[in-house]
Amino acid sequence: MGLGTVAVTGAAGNIGSVVREALRGEAARLVLVDRVPLTPRAENEDVHTVDLRDAAAVESALAGADRVLHLGGVPDEAPLADLLEANVLGTHHVLEAARRAGIGRVVLAGSNRVTGFYPVGHHTGPREPVRPDGLYGVSKVAVEALGQLYADKFGLSVICLRIGSFEHRPSEPRHLATWLSPRDAVGYLRAALTAPPSTRFATVYAVSANTRRFWELPDPAVLDYTPVDDAELHAADIPGAGLPADPTAPQAGPYARPEFTLRHLKA
């Protein structure tokens, strides 16, 4: 299936930069959106400097797109007001622009942090109740809820990817379970962009085929991508990789600690 015109928000970010390189030769046109100024690198690239809080600017940038990959927003723990503006309101503007323009598919960058308080010993699937590990996780719960709303109420086709630990190489023990390699990230995103239009709404974990993972891989009937990389191949290079994991500890690891969020709360 051809990709047509693909709009990518957060195109200057870590994942956005990798996806830009991977999809440049596959999309008829790439519309790259970020609040950081970008420079076109190919004839089929259009760039837009946009703050996702500006609904009119978002709608203008996404006009003419066939598919939207929404990666933009605050990527980690922050004051709730900042997360609500960038992640929740920004996502609302993207979905509303897609509704108004009749865009066929929106892929939302969710996060594994929406279920960070499930224990390491629990194999977690996307249909279980959310257990966010912080304010960032709460904002991503809202992102998923907005996607579900726009799918149910307005008929958009929305896929939410609960992205794992995106790194070129795993570098800490938690990554042995949570790593998402660049190759697998592109695979998941491409599969989400090209899933059949009959897929009205889906939420899946985007994680590599890690031997120690504690999240379900997607059902091929929901998202047809099978990851290929395994963090275990890098275990020898990771200090502490040989220590047994506490099955009762939160999957979020240090992100679940009170101090991770307390520093963003008013005294």
Structure tokens at 27: 């999309």
Burial 188-219 (b: 16+ CB within 10 A, else e): bbbbbbbbeeebebbbbbbbbbbebbbbebbe
Placement of tokens 């950081």 in the chain: 36
Grouping H, G, I as helix, E, B as strand and the rest as coil, residue 114 is: helix
The torsion angles phi and psi of 59, rounded to 5 degrees, stand at -60, -40
What's the rounded Cα separation, in Å, for the pair 225 and 206? 10
What's the rounded Cα separation, in Å, for the pair 242 and 166? 22
What's the rounded Cα separation, in Å, for the pair 156 and 107? 11
Between helices 14-23 and 182-194, what is the axis angle to 10°? 70
Structure tokens at 177: 């379970």
Percentage helix, strand, coil for the chain under 3-state DSSP, each rounded to 5: 35, 20, 45
Active site residues: 136
Instruction: List the beta strands (DSSP E) in 152-217.
Output: 158-163, 165-166, 179-180, 201-206
